[in-house]
Structure formats: C-alpha cells, structure tokens
Amino acid sequence: MVSSGHQESVLSSLDLLKLQTEFLRGLEIKGKTFNTVKNYRTDLNIFNQYLEANGRSLMLTELTLQQVKEYSSHLEKKYNSPNSIRRRVQALRIFFDWLIERGLYQENPVKKALVSPKVVDPPRPLEFKNIFTLFNHLESLIENSQGLEKLIHMRNKIIFYLIYGSGLKVSDIEPLSESSIFPGSPGRVMVAHPKRDPYTIPLPPGFNQFYIEFKESLEEQKDKDKINFNNLLFNANPYKILKRGLSSRGIEVIFKELSKKLDMPFTAKSLRQSCIIKWLNKNESDSQVKEWMGVQPAYSLKAYKQYLEEEDHAKEFSEIGEKI
C-alpha cells in the first residue's frame, strides 16, 4: 500500500489513460460483455473530458471529495437522466476501487459522495393483443420463406420465445449456447452471470418442438457454409452465416425493424416487461418472479403491480396470453 505522504509523488507520474486502458482490459478478461466494457469506457471518457475542460492534465493526482462533488454537479447540469448521472459516478467509483486494489490509492473519494438513487421507470409492456400480432407475423414469415431466409426468421422466433416466454434480457441471450437449453416438459434455459450462480427459467410450451426444427435447419446451414459453432444464435447476410453469436445490439435492431414493419412501437425491453406482467397475471409468487428476473430479493415489483391495477389485462390475458 502506498503511504499518504508518498501517494501524490507516485500518482503524478501515472498516465490516467493508460490506467483506464488496463482497467478496461481487466474487465474484458473477467468476461464482461462488449456493451458493458463500452459503457465503462464512455463513462470514464466523460470524466477525462471534464478534467481537460477544467484545465487539468490527464496525469493521475489526488482526487478530493470536493472535486468529486463538483464533477457530480457538472453531470447534473449536463444530463437530464438521474440514472445516467448515477452510472457515470459509479463507473468512476469502481475505477478507483481498482486503483486501491493495485495499491495506488488509500481510500476511494467517490464513495463519500452522495449518489442519486436509481430511478425505476414505470413499465411500458407491449399489450398482449400486439404480442399476438407479432407472433403471427413471425410465423407467417417462416411459412412463406425458405433456405437461409427461413432460418433467419426461425432465429428471430427463438429470440421471441426467450424474451416473451422466459423473460430474458438481450444481454442474457447474447452468450447463450446450445448447452444452455434443457429440453423437457417444460424445457428450461440456463442463465449464467459472472458474479452469481447460474439459474434456470422455464421455457414456453411451444418452444421444444420448434427448437428441434430450428436446430436441424441450423446444422444443415452450418454444413453448407462450412462453419461450426455452439452458440445458440448467429449473424448472417442473405447468402450465408457470417459468424457465431448475435450481439445485444443486434437483437435490439431486429426488434426495431419488426416494430417499424408492423407500425407498432415496441422494443425487446417492452416485450420482456410483458412477460413479467404475464407471470404476475398467472399468480406466480413475487419470490419466483424475482428469481426468474435475476434480481435481488429486495427488488420491488410495485410498479408492475400498479400497472396491473390501473389497466385491466386479466381478460385479455386469458383470451390471448396462453396461446403463445
């Protein structure tokens, strides 16, 4: 550990950008997703830009609590979203925790600063009648296509099942492999996070049979394109599979295009929120819903329950929800 008297002389010789690069590389080695590392890089760059705008070099020196408060005030003036402000301060806090682990700092000044509480936006789920429209559209695309085009539409239906059927976030779907799927009655999908034990979520009734068809078509196409991988999803152009896997951003783009085509505003997030509403409509316990969502027991479902109370979805769910 560096002594306080020696700290500034040591820190003054350290390149802030170089340290941040090492920090980000460490996140990649730990298995953080591309988007997570990108967000950390963006948040730290905003701090760097703030230092430069205030005439400070990017050489690491002592950071005081007062300077952290001034940076927080700067963020509050520049950004309207409390969650964006909170995330950028938290990124700085985690970076300084890393510096402490390296023996370059004795205490983290960011921890002493008050961080805005996370604001939970009210859920805006896709209505069940529109979910049914989306599902029928995906089925129609599959029925009226062939070859790789059909396989791409089948892939999109698999994604639909995973989000609306099992409540997965796009970041949960991105790393899935074939070994993440456990066929059965019902089948289950395994979600694994770096900082917690893996857990499984039931798959919807129609998934199993469709998954068998999807796998058969995928294997045929992989043989044709002379490519091999174990990822559940893939990236392709109209002519061949380009590479294994599909990024979170790629999944979001798929739903953006479907939303435009159907003239029906929705996102992968709103579809997932519909799944949560579906679970609550089926009287699943709060603890079970939270487990499937992958959140802590202290997480509040109040906003979802208020939505159910304010909007009468029970009849609509009984007529449509169980069909998918």
**At residue 15, what are phi and psi to the nearest 5 degrees?**
-80, 115
| Ranges of H-type helices in the chain | 4-11, 16-29, 34-53, 65-78, 82-101, 128-143, 147-160, 170-173, 207-225, 248-262, 268-281, 286-293, 302-310, 314-320
* Domains detected in the chain: 4-112 (1.10.150.130), 128-323 (1.10.443.10)
Query: For residue 159, is pLDDT > 90?
Result: yes
Query: For residue 3, is pLDDT > 60?
Result: no
Asked which of 109-123, 181-195, 230-244, 263-277 is least confident by mean pLDDT, the reply is: 109-123
Per-residue pLDDT at 71: 86
For residues 216 and 289, what is the distance between their CA atoms, to the nearest angstrom?
33
Buried b (16+ CB within 10 A) or exposed e, 150-162: bbbbbbbbbbbbb
Q: Which residues contact 247 (CB under 8 A, 6 or more apart)?
A: 34, 35, 174, 235
For residues 302 and 286, what is the distance between their CA atoms, to the nearest angstrom?
10
Retrieve residue 5's tokens: 């008297």
pLDDT tens per residue, range 96-109: 889 888 887 777 87
pTM (predicted TM-score): 0.69
Per-residue pLDDT at 321: 54
Mean of the pLDDT values across residues 296-309?
A: 86
Asked which of 113-122, 176-185, 259-268, 301-310 is least confident by mean pLDDT, the reply is: 113-122
